[in-house]
Amino acid sequence: MAEDDRALPQQLRDVLRRSGRRLGYDRGDALFMEGDHPRHVVLIEHGQVKIERATSDGSAVTIAVRGPGELVGELACIDGRGRSATVVALGPVVAVLVPLSRFRELLNTNAPLVYAVLIRTVSRIRESDRWRVEYGALATGRRVARALADRTLGSAEGPYVIRTTQQELGDAIGISRESVVRALRVLHESGLVQTRRGSIVVPDPPALREWADG
């Protein structure tokens, strides 16, 4: 999978690897749960995870997907408060777990790491704001296309495999699974996506991004 600018620079990943331990997860495994006391920050090495939050009716809504080179769980490790979301493996995942105390030591001594975490935190806030404004104004088909296109950012060539179910995609952008199915059918007929069990394949990421922006 291609990485984009949300991934930490290689040298900072190496620092974290030396400070943590590598673990593997299977599809559906929780790396940590919403409300948990933070014990470690997680660097995704391989695979993708989804970020879920519980709703008032007890269901879970997918709010983001993270991939190789990205940190998850860093905010709770910084402020010491309970986890604000659950992180679940979308497929086989390899991750490096850095203990909370060690992560804080690195933040106190490694200015480039502090800057990288800060920049990515700001980027996620901006991304969240943009989703609320832009996605709410788009028709359903464009909203699905834009959500898929956003996940291919940084990829100039295909095919690009997005590990997500139709229900998870709908939860992430606030529409029903049935609406996602209809939108994917149109995209499939246009040759922009292929659907598989548990994943969506984008043969030509730039073409999908162009269609989504049209």
In this predicted structure, the answer to whether residue 103 has a pLDDT above a threshold of 90 is yes
In degrees to the nearest 10, what's the CA dihedral of 76, 79, 81, 83? -10
CA distances to 88, 96, 151 from 45, in Å: 14, 7, 17
My answer on whether omega of the bond before 159 falls inside 30° of 0, hence cis, is yes
pLDDT tens digits, 104-115:
999 999 999 999
Q: What is the pLDDT of residue 59?
A: 66
Round to whole Å and give the CA distance between 40 and 55. Answer: 25
Contact of 38 with 100, CB cutoff 8 Å: yes
Q: What is the CA radius of gyration of the chain?
A: 17
The answer to whether the pTM exceeds 0.85 is: no
Rounded Cα distance between 62 and 167, Å, is: 9
Question: How far is it, in rounded angstroms, from Cα 66 to Cα 71?
Answer: 8
* Residue 57 pLDDT greater than 80, yes or no: no
Q: For the chain, report the end-to-end CA distance as a whole number of angstroms.
A: 26
**Sequence-separated (6 or more) residues with CB below 8 Å from residue 186:** 141
Digit-coded pLDDT (tens) for 123-176: 777 766 555 555 554 577 888 888 888 777 656 677 888 888 888 888 777 778
Average pLDDT over residues 193-197: 90
What integer best gives the mean pLDDT of the chain? Answer: 85
Q: DSSP letters along 28-80, please?
A: T-EEE-TTPPP-EEEEEEES-EEEEEE-TTS-EEEEEEE-TT-EESHHHHHH-
Res 3: pLDDT = 44
Q: Are 98 and 20 in contact (CB under 8 A)?
A: yes
